[in-house]
Structure 1
């Protein structure tokens, strides 16, 4: 079973890879677009990395911008997917 900390760690690891730098001071309140300057292509890459790390199957059609506002909102979304058993 994937814990909340596992999900946040997967997001942090994905961000480090996508941004090609260490992401320091990351918290669940960190804004993905405003604080980290993600763009649409980096978000897609992040989604793929988090899917691989957690086993969650993100459907881009069901994904809303509000799911990607902060680390917390993205972790909440992934956590709900895993709880519903939405895995590949």
Structure 2
């Protein structure tokens, strides 16, 4: 898993704020997206679209797993991995 910088954390938190339409407390890597924040299956789709729009995230549906949405830490790790993969040269 790539290093997760503060910018990535901020982008993911802002996307969660936008999708859930509420202020969020300080998020830790262990904050559960469904249990603690109230994310649901519909908001997952909105969250993915928000991340795609805000950072140009390219999501590979074949690599997307439910585990990516367990916690704030797993989601930021997933986003960081996607961003890192997008920056790798092809070929």
Task: Calculate the TM-score normalised by the size of structure 1.
Answer: 0.83
Please identify the structure whose Cα radius of gyration is greater: 2
Q: Which runs of 5+ in 2 are unaligned?
A: none
Q: Counterpart in 1 of 2:63?
A: 62
Alpha-carbon distance in 1 for matches of 2:35, 2:5: 23
- Moved runs in structure 1, 4+ residues, more than 4 A? none
Whether contact under 8 Å (1:14, 1:46) holds in the other structure is yes
Aligned-CA RMSD value: 1.6
Q: Report the Cα offset of residue 25 of structure 1.
A: 2.2
Written as runs of structure 1 = structure 2, the 5 A alignment for 1:47-58 is 47-58=48-59
Deviates more, 1:53-62 or 1:4-13: 53-62
Task: Calculate the TM-score normalised by the size of structure 2.
Answer: 0.81
Q: Which runs of 5+ in 1 are unaligned?
A: none
Corresponding position: 1:75 with 2:73: no
Give the structure, 1 or 2, with the largest relative contact order (CA under 8 Å, sep 6 or more). 2
